Amino acid sequence: MKMIYRRISFFCALMTGALGALTLIGWVSGLEMLASIRQTYIPMAPSTALAFTLLSLVLLLREHPKFRRPMAEVLLFVVGIVAGGKLFEFFSGRSLGVEEWLVADPVMFGAVRTARMSPITALNFLLICLAILALLKVRLRVWAGPVAAVVLAISGVVVLGYMHGTPLLYGGTIIPVALPTAAAFILLGSSVIAAIGAECWPLRIWQGDSTRALLLRWFLPMVVLVAVVEGLLRTHFLTGWALNPALSSALSTLLYILIVTAVISQVARLVGRRIDRAESERNAAQAALEALNRELEQRIAERTRELSAKNQQMEEELTMARELQLALLPDHFPSIPQSAPATESALKFFSLYQPAGAVSGDFFSVFPVSETGVGIFICDVMGHGVRAALVTSMMRALLEQHSGSDPDPGLLLSQINHGLHSILKQAGTTMYATGVMMIADAAKAELVYAIAGHPPPLHLHRREGTTMPLELNGRAGALGLFPHATFATTRTTLEPGDLIMLYTDGLFEVEDTEGELYTQEDLLKAVHRSRNLPTAEMFQAVLAEVQAFSQRRDFDDDVCIVGIEVAHCLARETRHGEEGQAVKELSKSGQAVPDTLFDAA
């Protein structure tokens, strides 16, 4: 398509140059008929013919490999100066003597001289020079088409005047535009528009397969043709036949209707065929889309069923994991001493376990270590969910493995830490757990404990009415990070009525609706306010206060609380029991019972 436009541009420029050259030959040879077509028409001025020749040379040589734009700009500047000078002469009434140098004493054409450029021609030359200059510059090329279209419009008006037998400005004092001049401007403007091609207006709106372009290609030329033909018939044929004016109007209207009907019929055929094809394509696309939707719905249904089955399986597995994890927790607590009924145990135990999900990363265990002592272990694995729950299983296995060897809490935590680090290293993952290991002995009225990065348990002295965290003897990190970490063992005394409360950080690391954090200090105050309640009720009261703070029923992290309440101490009872057993053994052997034994009692 570009090659066709280039050929059209070349042909129009060549015809423009031919008109200019033919006019110059007519003036030089004295055959002015070559410059005017008819004797009754004003001829093209020699300055106009020379300007057309120069501009056609610019357009013809534009595509040549040796074309030099500066030279073309000089020629455009010369033509523009001549045209501007002519407009200056017209508006100022002064003559610059340029055209007098070409033809000194031309003949008169009515009230005006021939061989002189019309001011309308001068204006058209300025416009066409601007259009060609914009064509030569890439950044300004978009303006070449509109300016050339203005030149075509002005020249078209002039040509229509000649076609209807009423040439523009004839009989006046302003030099009219010659018919060859208007034709040359139409050719020159068409050459510029064709040189631009379909990249810019006006040819851009004519191109493509859109309905708009199709209608423009058919309607616009036909409307122009109908208007021209109707005017020619009315002015040259119907009037010449001396027909009745009404009959003339009827015939011209009939001709107009026939032409318009033919055009509309052709356009309707083309557009209708295009609409039918588009409708057929739309129906086919809709059918394909419906089939695709059905297939997609089937796939979604199948995938939904698969996901539902997998979700059901996952839920069942999580339920089983939850049941197994709950089975790992103590279902009953030991009595101290072990032979005593649960209601008469010197140490009473309480727990509250609330996972954030199906499974939890919190774990606790309560197990006997002697006749009067019991071990309490609580841990919180990093995160929550399945991974954390798996680590809690490891923690329980390690606890059972090492809890029977040495009752020292610090040493027991060191052994658990070493084993956990080995397992996690072999698995290639980095996790950790915080924990507390303690041994409460009701006979010694003593609590021995060690802490591994865990929140310190709270010691409630109910008789004294005080609540304080257990003291930390040095600092130690979490479990599972460093294989040779050591944990210090600390001792404290117990009294009847005391309560030791162990908990995980999920109990206090909550936020309210404004993002304010519930701290360990807030937890300490809440526990202290509820210290006189029964232990189980106290745990529920503290939990309710935290939930009221966050304004949520659930927690983002797992929550685990374990309590050891000292009902009474066994120090005196155990001593009396041992002395009575000694008296019985001495009596059976026939030996005398020492008086000191009774004195001590």
41 and 168: one domain? yes
600 and 562: one domain? no
- pLDDT tens digit sequence for 275-300: 888 888 889 999 999 999 999 999 99
120 and 108: one domain? yes
CA dihedral 217, 222, 225, 230 (to 10 degrees): -160
Q: How confident is the model at residue 243 (pLDDT cuts 50, 70, 90)?
A: low
Q: Does pTM top 0.85 for this prediction?
A: no
pLDDT of residue 279: 85
185 and 264: one domain? no
pLDDT of residue 314: 80
- pLDDT tens digit sequence for 512-540: 888 899 999 999 999 999 999 999 999 99
Which residues are 435's β-sheet partners? 379, 453
Task: Give the pLDDT mean for 545-554.
Answer: 90
* Domain limits for position 200: 2-207
Instruction: Name the more confident of 271 and 337.
Output: 337
The CB-side HSE value for 224 (13 A sphere, CA atoms) comes to 10
Sequence letter at residue 558? D
Most confident of 66-75, 297-306, 324-333: 297-306
351 and 262: one domain? no
Domain boundary among 165, 191, 207: 207
74 and 200: one domain? yes
- pLDDT tens digit sequence for 575-586: 444 444 544 454
Domain boundary among 177, 207, 237: 207
Number of domains in the chain: 4
Q: Which of 199-213, 220-234, 324-338 has the lowest mean pLDDT?
A: 220-234
Element (H, E) at 1: none
pLDDT of residue 539: 94
pLDDT > 70 in the chain, percent: 90
294 and 425: one domain? no
524 and 554: one domain? yes
200 and 232: one domain? no
Q: How confident is the model at residue 556 (pLDDT cuts 50, 70, 90)?
A: confident
Main-chain dihedrals φ then ψ at residue 220, nearest 5 degrees:
-60, -50
Main-chain dihedrals φ then ψ at residue 492, nearest 5 degrees:
-150, 160
Asked if the model's pLDDT at residue 23 lies above 70, the reply is: yes
pLDDT of residue 247: 65
221 and 169: one domain? no
398 and 488: one domain? yes
Asked if the model's pLDDT at residue 220 lies above 50, the reply is: yes
Give which of 538, 561, 555 is closest to 329, Cα–Cα. 561
Task: Give the pLDDT mean for 174-186.
Answer: 93
SS3 string, 468-504, reads EECCCCCCCCCECCCCCCCCCCEEEECCCCCEEEEEC
pLDDT of residue 244: 63
521: helix, strand or coil: helix
Task: Calculate the average pLDDT of the chain.
Answer: 85
Could you write out the DSSP letters of every residue in 132-187? HHHHHSGGGGGGHHHHHHHHHHHHHHHHHHHHTT--TTTTSSSPPPPHHHHHHHHH
pLDDT of residue 457: 95
Task: Give the pLDDT mean for 214-232.
Answer: 71
Q: How confident is the model at residue 230 (pLDDT cuts 50, 70, 90)?
A: low
Asked if the model's pLDDT at residue 225 lies above 80, the reply is: no
Q: How confident is the model at residue 241 (pLDDT cuts 50, 70, 90)?
A: low
Under a CB-based contact definition with an 8 Å cutoff, are residues 463 and 535 in contact?
no
Domain boundary among 283, 303, 328: 328
Q: How confident is the model at residue 375 (pLDDT cuts 50, 70, 90)?
A: very high
Under a CB-based contact definition with an 8 Å cutoff, are residues 597 and 580 in contact?
no
Instruction: Name the more confident of 243 and 299.
Output: 299
Q: Where would I find the H helices in 511-570?
A: 520-529, 535-550
Residue 520 belongs to a domain with what CATH number? 3.60.40.10
Element (H, E) at 407: none
Task: Give the pLDDT mean for 110-127.
Answer: 91
> For 537, which DSSP code?
H
pLDDT of residue 237: 63
147 and 250: one domain? no
Instruction: Name the more confident of 398 and 385.
Output: 398
Q: Which of 122-126, 164-168, 503-507, 518-522 has the lowest mean pLDDT?
A: 164-168
